[in-house]
Structure 1
Amino acid sequence: MSFPRNFSKCLRTSSDDVIKYCLQSLYLDQVRSVNIINFEWDNDEILAYSQRNLAIARGEDIVYDLTKIEMELASILVFEKVYIETQPDSQLYLEVFPYHLELFQGHMRILSEIKDLISQEPIPIEKVNLLGFSKNSGLQHALEPALDNASEILSSLEILLCFVKRTAVGDREKSIKNYVSQWMKLSSLNEHERFSKMLKVDLRLKHLVSLYELVEEQVADVKIKYIHEKYKEELSADMKAAIMDSVDFEQQTTMRKAIPAEAFALALKRFMLRFLTLENQKEKEPLHLYLQDDTLNFWSSTVPEELIDELFPENLLVANTYEAYTFTMNIIEQTMEKQAKLAKQAKQAKQAKQAKPANTSNPNINRMGSKPGRKRPERSSKYDRM
């Protein structure tokens, strides 16, 4: 790989006690192979002495020289590498590309743009199951992604989204597998075994956004826990009250207008993964500026835009995003537990009623089956008639 045109020429800012790493600028026709990053990740080599390896110290306290480690990594990864510039009026140029999980920083409305190019629809549930994971509702905090190598698959889908947007293909029924195969620039996607296996499922370009969102949710379940602390500011009592007033946790069938709780939680989760993992977002901005923008594609298609504009809590800030999500998830889980308990009690009461023997006694009927007030006729003997 090489650095795109908008890459910073200096890796670190300079000060009296900090070493400054700078990259030389060259035009593309001046670049030699040694100037291009061509690195295969080796976990054993790079992470051999990382702070995650507790076996190194064997229980003893050790101090890591982080400055030296950084210098050695810089030497391994970027020594003699250059910042490539485009020569004026030259046909030699380097296309700008997004790094992994940076797609929405430069193309924040790309999903809406794909929808405008190609009419989209959800993936049928039977095909979702064939992909290797179930379409969950986002109500569980996953410890690991349900899909193997979900983060790498998401990176491949980011490349695919950018390419589909660039080629402006309009055939929604075209197979994703066939589309990838027809472009040499996308051939590297087939090198990813899990992604290549997914392409064997009969998915069309009309399923592309749905596929991205399904994989994205698996990644978000893990990634959002590690966003910066500035996006985890506690909710005030007024903020909690606003969420309770705006969100439907009971799945009521009344005419009360409210945002479905599952959709509210999913929108917050998508926002965190797409915009808060890089720490560039200003935490004091109102959250509704982003969540009420329908072109950012945070909401399920079943939630009306008018409902979001009218009811989304306006006192929430970007800084409160994670806590708003956590608060919502906790209420959802409590509500589900309450509903499950009530359903269990109702079932037990019904079973107890069915098991109770029927009461057939009638106070107006005596033991012999005769009604009171009527004398039972005496049975005559054949000897009496003689």
Structure 2
Amino acid sequence: MLDLYKQSSFDIEQLEILKKEFSCFESIIADIEINTFLPKLWKPVRKVNFEDFYTFYISNNLNEYPFLSVFFKHYESLKFIKYLYPIIKFVKILNSKLEYHLTRKAAQIMTFHEFIKKESVDNSEYINLKSLFEEFAFSWNSVISHINQYQSKEFFDKPYMTLDLPVIFGLVEQKDSGIYLYAIVEFLIKLHNEFLNNVMTIPIEKCKSLNFIKDFSWNYLNSKTYFNVLTVVQALDNNFINYEWNDKILRMLFDVKKILSQESILADKMLIISAMLQQSIILNSSSNSINLSELLLLCEIILCFIKELLIRNNNILILDLVNQWLKLARYNITYTDIFKEFSLKHIIAFYELIEEQVANSVIHDIDEKLKISLTQQIMDSINNIIDYDDSENQNQQLIPAKAFVLALKRFIYRFLLIDSGVENMGLYIYFLDFTLNLWTSDMKRELVKKLFPTCLLVSHAYSSYVYLLNEIEKATIERQNKSFASTSSTTRKTLIKKYKKFTD
């Protein structure tokens, strides 16, 4: 029957009919199509597979093809590296959705399916989240079988990832259920880094395909080749369940300031940006709103790039860095219009402004044991070092009330949203550590060291914050009343003078 194609009246349409009617003939007919209907120039002599490709280049001098040499060396491991991105992507979503909202106990009960249903506002989002989970699960199940132990712990009963597993398995941690994901991520990152390290040894002049790297030099001098080499610790930074805040990002602010000079955002532009951020909080889940948590994460990533690449040109536009580096690293970049026209000299100001807006909505959710009431003695100690005057007549020998409030807000947001067991520690341990960037840049360090109350504990931070806010409001009302009284008195005297002049 298959000899029919040799007949002059037999054409491609007849072949298509055969394929539809007899699926078993599909591969045979494919060969017929290639060998019969293609011009002789395009007829393959034989089918080429990867082994042939490898043999061909091995038989030649691989030194002439350094990148291919590295590729062949890591070919088997590269099959696994593709699983890293969907795993990190889904864990990142878990972080953004559940951060500070789920205890470890609850995470051991809630399943991935329950999480997806809970976070889906409509069917479209449900399908999207479920699809992302399926990619995560497929990646997990493809890798876990190749990992038999982590450090001294052997894996006998390796969990098969399904929707019915609790979300605790989405925790990257070196203990309990989180150890499986930790081992998977470490395994993949090790393969990733080994490949990049080998690529980095290739001289660019010997491999033209790597010339694009030369375009990614941010400094005018000492241009170097950089790759984004990962560690498992970086995966931990954005963990989502009951995981201790990693203060590396806080010290990173300090480090970036040393590398790259920073400036404040002009007051008028600051008002516009603040209004945009506050509007996003009001709109909340609206499609027109800015996701402040994602925006804050983006700022953290930018800070990491600045530090790792030692970027010293603060005139580079933030959007240029985002477009060339973060998109290259396959980050999902959104909400970037807010950075328009701003350069890297403003990145820390942006970070702190966004952080403040995020903090406003969450700092009241801390544990009750961290809301210890202030005694009169403690309130007196605070009042003795604080100046509530918000004018140019402010006492330079005291700490401005608003500066102290902002420092307390940053501390509560960065350290107290999880139960870290530090409630009985002295607050001065944190507030006198200027690498944590709790204070504004214009605050005099010697003044803080001299005045900061040693009687304050970490458990007093929240109550001190609330107390100072109330005192600031009282002082503001009092100033307004005095101003009104003064204005009224002046107006009354003026009217009396005019009246006397009129009656004389």
TM-score normalized by structure 1? 0.68
Q: Equivalents in 2 of 1:130, 1:254: separation in Å?
A: 27
The residue number in structure 2 matching 1:217 is 356
Aligned equivalents of 2:438, 2:445: Cα separation in 1 = 11
Q: What do the CA deviations read for 1:39-75 (whole angstroms, capped 9, x no partner)?
A: 477999636569xxxxxxxxxxxxxxxxxxx965439
The alpha carbon displacement at 1:162 in A equals 1.5
Q: Which residue of 1 aligns with 2:459?
A: 319
The aligned counterpart of 1:83 is 183
Question: Which one of 302, 317, 328 corresponds to residue 160 of structure 1?
Answer: 302
How far off is 1:179 after superposition? 1.3
**Unaligned runs of at least 5 residues, structure 2:** 1-76, 98-112, 120-162, 172-176, 196-228
**In the aligned structure 2, how far is the partner of 1:72 from the partner of 1:236?**
48
Q: Report SS of the residue matched to 2:499.
A: coil
Q: Is the 8 A contact 1:287 1:316 kept in 2?
A: yes
Percent identity of paired positions between Structure 1 and Structure 2: 29
Matching residue's letter, 2:481? K
**Corresponding residue of 1:118:** 260
Letter in 1 for 2:342: L
Report what 2:493 is aligned to. Answer: 353
Structure with a larger share of its residues in helix: 2
Distance of 2:374 and 2:251 partners within structure 1: 29
What root-mean-square deviation, in Å, do the aligned CA atoms of Structure 1 and Structure 2 show? 3.9
Q: Is the 8 A contact 2:250 2:437 kept in 1?
A: no
Q: What are structure 1's unaligned runs of at least 5 residues?
A: 1-26, 51-69, 137-141, 364-386
1:360 shift after superposition: 4.3
Which residue does the alignment assign to 2:385?
246
* Shift of residue 336, structure 1, vs aligned partner: 0.7
Cα displacement string for residues 161-192 of structure 1 (whole angstroms, at most 9, x for unaligned residues)? 11221111111111111112221556655631
Q: After the TM superposition, which residues 1-386 of structure 1 pair with which residues of structure 2 at under 5 Å, given as runs?
A: 33=83, 36=87, 39=90, 46=115, 48=117, 72-74=165-167, 83-84=183-184, 85-86=186-187, 91=194, 94-95=230-231, 96-97=233-234, 98-99=237-238, 104-131=246-273, 133=275, 148-184=290-326, 188=330, 191-192=333-334, 194=335, 196-199=336-339, 201-251=340-390, 253=393, 257-280=397-420, 282-356=422-496, 357-360=498-501
The amino acid that maps onto 2:434 is D
SS in 2 for 1:183: helix
Residue 46 of structure 2 is matched in structure 1 by none
Q: 1:261 to 1:81 in 2, by over 3 A?
A: closer
| Preserved contact between residue 268 and residue 321 of structure 1 (Cα < 8 Å) | yes
Q: 1:134-179: per-residue Cα shift (whole Å, max 9, x none)?
A: 899xxxxx9888x832222112111211122111111111111111
State the TM-score, normalizing by the size of structure 2.
Answer: 0.53
Change (3 A) 1:354 1:191: same
Deviation of 1:249 (Å): 1.2
> Is this contact kept in 1: 2:277–2:357, CA < 8 A?
no
The answer to whether the Cα contact below 8 Å between 1:120 and 1:206 also exists between their aligned partners in 2 is yes
Q: Would the alpha carbon gap of residues 246 and 198 (structure 1) be closer, same or farther in structure 2, given more than 3 Å must change?
A: same
* SS of match in other structure, 1:108: helix
Aligned to 1:59: none
Residues 387 and 394 in structure 2, CA contact (< 8 A), matched pair in contact too: no
Higher relative contact order (CA 8 A, sep 6+): 1
